[in-house]
Each structure stands twice: as C-alpha cells, then as structure tokens.
Structure 1
Amino acid sequence: MSWSDFSKLIKLRLTFLVTFSASISFLIGSKVNGEIVWGNWVILIIGGFLVTSAANCFNEIIEKDLDKLMRRTADRPIPAGRMNTGQALVMGLFMGIFGTYLLGKLNPTAGFLSVFSIVLYAFLYTPLKRKSPIAVFVGAIPGALPPLIGYVAAHPKIDYIALILFGIQFVWQFPHFWAIAWVLDDDYKLAGFRLLPSGKRDTTSAVFAFISTLIMLPVSLLPTYYGCGGYWVGGISLIVSLIFLYFGFGLMRNRDIKSAQKLMYGSFLYLPIVQLAFLFDFIGKV
C-alpha cells in the first residue's frame, strides 16, 4: 500500500485538523494544571491521530459502495480496488485500539471519549447521512470531541473551559459542514447523501448556514466573557467571526457555489485562528 492510499484511507487533512485542535486544548489544559508535560503532549498527538484515523477508516469501509458513485471519492483505495475491506478493517482496529490505549493511559475519561467518538462518527453519523439532514447535528458531536479529549487528557476534569472549547468547535461544525455540502451537493446526491438543511441548494439551506455563522459570533467570545481569555483573544475572535459572518451572508444573498466555497475555505482558517488566539492569550494570563 502506498502512502497516497494510506492518506486517503485515513483522510489525512481532516485527521491533521482534528489532531491539531486536540493538541491545542491539551496545552490549555496543561496550563490549568500548572505545567506542560511535553511527553504526554506527544502521546496525545499520536493517540489522537490514530483514533481519528480509525474512525475515518471505518467510515470508508461502511461507505465503500457509495464512494464508487462519487467523483470525489471514487479513487479512494477501497472503492478503487487497491485495498480490500479486510485489510482496512485490520488497520482500523489496530489504530483504534492502540490510539484508545494511549489516550486512556493519559486519562481514562479521554480514552472513553475516544471510543465514544469512533462509535458515534462511524456507526451513527455515517449511516444517517443518507437518511436525514439531522446527520449534521449528530456528526457535530464527535467532530467537537477532540478539543474536549485533548483538554481532559491534560486536566482530568470537564470544567467550564473544557465546555467552551467543545462549544466553539461544535457550533463551527455547522457552517463548515453546510458549506462543504453546498459545494459538493451534486456529488453527494449521486450517493444519496442528505446533508443540506432542506436537502438541496436553496434559500432555506443558505439561511441556516448564515444563522450558524451568526451564532458563532457570541460563542467565540465565551472565553473573554467567562474570564479565561482576555480582550486580545476576544478582539481576534470578533474580527474573524465578523469575516465569517460576512461569508455566511454572502451565501445567503447569492446562493451560489462560489459563495459557498468562500465560506468553506473561511471555515478551514477560522477554527485554528480562534484556537491559537485562545491558547496564546490563556498562556499569557496564567
């Protein structure tokens, strides 16, 4: 198996983004604890990477026949015939078990949450994608668990800071998912996926996407409101949230793929900017 096939199997870019958010939250949790144990940070990154890779691997096994129908996914190793499901299953189980072991070694709650995220993503969200747009809400839960896992891996308590980190990434999932669903709607329909709020590119779906960017604005200011972040992170979050809101308004106004692409690419930048601002501001306050 080539590296290219492996990266497609685990959805490398998505896995990297998920692991990044967990690692940032680990550092925040470490500062709450009083010190950063860099060896544990490395374990968190490896464990988080493996758990996320396993969830994506199981997702591709379940959707192998559907992936054949879509242009975007037809070249993945399983639907393209370069890997069979047995091989992918062995890899997924190994990554899931070993990754969970590593996270559980840091903190049992982190290990439990990692198992929960795999089950929810692969075995509930994945089949729901063809049944109802509610799948986006279900998928937003495991999608927002990485910062929670990263935080409790360093600070063994789900406190208000952990919930803020979870909440920011949870709400972010909606404009992120819906922008992607709008751009790829034609491809998704080939596999029967129903991810846009109304099931199609229309005003209703665009309004939902805009409202989600509107909700993102106050949610991003929660660190400043509750005092775990200062005005610096509040200012940065406000600026990027207003830009994000502008992209959401553009989609609602124009209802076209170009506007959805701006929202989609904006979502890729939005989350790491807000999380890094929270981290640097938090470290400066402690």
Structure 2
Amino acid sequence: MRWSDFSKLVKMRLTLLVVFSASISFLIGSKVNGQIIWGDWLILIAGGFLVTSAANCFNEIIEKDLDKLMRRTMDRPIPSGHMTTGQALIIGMLMAIFGVVLLGKLNPTAGYLSIFSILLYAFVYTPMKRKSAVAVFVGAIPGALPPLIGYVAAHPKIDEIALILFGIQFVWQFPHFWAIAWVLNDDYKLAGFRLLPSGKRDAVSAVFAFASTVILLPVSLMPTYYGYGGYYVGGISLLISLVFLYQGTMLMLKQDIKSAKSLMYGSFLYLPVVQLMFLFDFIGKVK
C-alpha cells in the first residue's frame, strides 16, 4: 500500500486537525490536575489518530460508490482500485480497536466516547448526508467530541471546561461545513449529498452560515466569561470572531463562491487560534 493511498483513506489533513484539538484539550485537562504526563499525551495523540482514521476509513468504505461520482474523491484508494473494500475494512477495524484500547487505558470515559464517535460519524452521519441537511447537525456531534475526549483523558470528569471546549468546536463546525458545502456544492450534487441548509446556494443557506458566525462569537468568549481565561484569550477570540463574522456577512451579501472560500479558509485558522489562546491563557492563570 502506498503512503498516498493511506493518507487519502484516513483523510490525513482532517485527521491531523482533529488530533490537534484533542491534544490541546488534553494539555488543558492536565493543567487542571496540576501535572502534564507527556507519555500520556503521546498515547492520546496515537489513540486519537487511530480512532479518527478508523472513522474516516469506514466513511470511505460506505461511500465508495459515491466517491466514484465526485471529482475530488474519485482518486481515493477504493474507488480508484488501489485498495479493495476488504483491505480497507481490515485496516479500519485494526485502527479502531487499537485506538479505543489506547484511549481507554488513559480513561474509560475517553474510550467509550471514542466508540460513540466512530459509530455516530460512520453509521449515522454518513448515510444521512444524502437524506437531509440535518446531517450537518448530527455530524457536528462526533466532530466536537475530540476536545472532550482529550480533556477527559487527562482529567476524568466532564466539567464546565470540558463543555466549553466541546461547545466551541460544536458551533464552529456549522460555518466551517456550510462554507465547504457551498464551495463544493456542484460536486456534492453528483453524489446526492444535501449539506447546505436549503439544499442549494441561495439566500437561505447564506443566512444560516452568517447566523452561525454570530452564535460563535459569544460561545468563543465563554472561557473568559466563566473565568477560565483572561483578557488575552478574550481579546484574541473577540478579534478573530469579528473577522469570521465579517466573512460570514460577505457570504450573506454576495452569495458567491469567492466569499464562501474566504469563510472556509477563515475557519481553518479560527479553531487552532482560539484553542491555543485558551491553552496559553489558562496555563498563565493556574500557575
């Protein structure tokens, strides 16, 4: 198996972003406990990578016939013939088992949440994408679980901080996914995916995307509001949220692909910046 095929099978860029958010949350949870165990951090990264890769692998197995229809996915290993469904299934099962075991060793709750994440993403969200735009809401749940898993892997309690980390990533996914769906709508239509709120590029979908950036602004300020972050995370989160809000406004006003791309690229920057600022500011407060 070629590295390029494995990378496409597990959706490497997406997987690394997910692992990054989980690793940041692990460090925050560790600071709540008063100590960072770096060996456990590496286990979290390995387990998170395997679990996320497994979920993406199962997603591609289920959608193998649909991937053949879309230009951006037809070169994935299964539709391109570089890998059989059976080979992908074995790889996915092994990654899922070892990933869950690693996370479960850190904390049983982290292991259970990882199982739930795989099942919800691969076997509920994936088939729902062709039936209803509600799939974006369903998909946002497993999409927001990585920071929760990372936090409880270090601090075995789902507390206020854990819910804030979950909430930020949950709300962030709506402008993120709707921007991507706007840009790739022509390709998605070939496979019958219905990810835009109205099912097409129009004012309704643009307003939903804009509204999600409005909601994200106060959500991103929760670390400061509840006293877990200071003015640094509050100021940076406010600034980047206003930029994100502007990008959402432009999409609502112009309703074009260029504006959607701007919002999409903004979403790639938004999440790591807010999470890193939360971490740095939180570490400063607990010293």
TM-score by length of 2: 1.00
1:263 equivalent in structure 2: 263
The letter of the residue matching 2:156 is P
Other-structure match for 2:179: 179
Q: Partners in 1 of 2:60 and 2:96 — Cα distance?
A: 14
Aligned to 2:61: 61
Q: 1:184-263, aligned counterparts within 5 Å?
A: 184-263=184-263
**CA distance in 1: counterparts of 2:262 and 2:186, whole angstroms:** 18
**What aligned pairs does 1:118-197 form with structure 2 within 5 A after superposition?**
118-197=118-197
Task: Tell me the percent identity.
Answer: 82
> How far apart are residue 71 of structure 1 and its match?
0.1
Q: Find the counterpart in structure 2 of residue 91 from structure 1.
A: 91
TM-score, normalised by the number of residues in structure 1: 1.00
2-side partners of 1:265 and 1:4: how far apart? Answer: 24
Q: Which ranges of structure 2 fall in alignment gaps of 5 or more residues? A: none
Paired with 2:285 and 2:263, the residues of 1 have a C-alpha distance of: 32
Q: What is the CA deviation profile of residues 199-255 of structure 1, one whole-angstrom value per residue up to 9, with x for unaligned ones?
A: 000000000000000000000000000000111100000000000000000100000
Look up the match of 1:77.
Answer: 77
Q: How many angstroms apart in 2 are the aligned matches of 1:19 and 1:50? A: 10
Superposition deviation, residue 147 in structure 1? 0.1
Q: Give the number of equivalent residue pairs.
A: 286
> Structure 2: which amino acid aligns with 1:203?
A
Q: Please, which runs of 5 or more residues in structure 1 have no aligned partner? A: none
How far off is 1:65 after superposition?
A: 0.0
Give structure 1 regions of 4+ aligned residues with deviation exceeding 4 angstroms. none
Quote the residue 2:50 is aligned against.
Answer: 50
Residues 112-159 of structure 1: per-residue CA shift (max 9 Å, x gap):
000000000000000000000000000000000000000000000000
Secondary structure of the 1:74 match is coil
SS in structure 1 of the partner of residue 219 of structure 2: helix
The equivalent residue for 2:20 is 20
CA distance in 2, matches of 1:37, 1:173: 30
Correspondence list, 1:1-16, <5 A: 1-16=1-16
Alignment partner of 2:70: what SS? coil
1:54-83, Cα deviation, whole Å (9 max, x unpaired):
000000000000000000000000000110
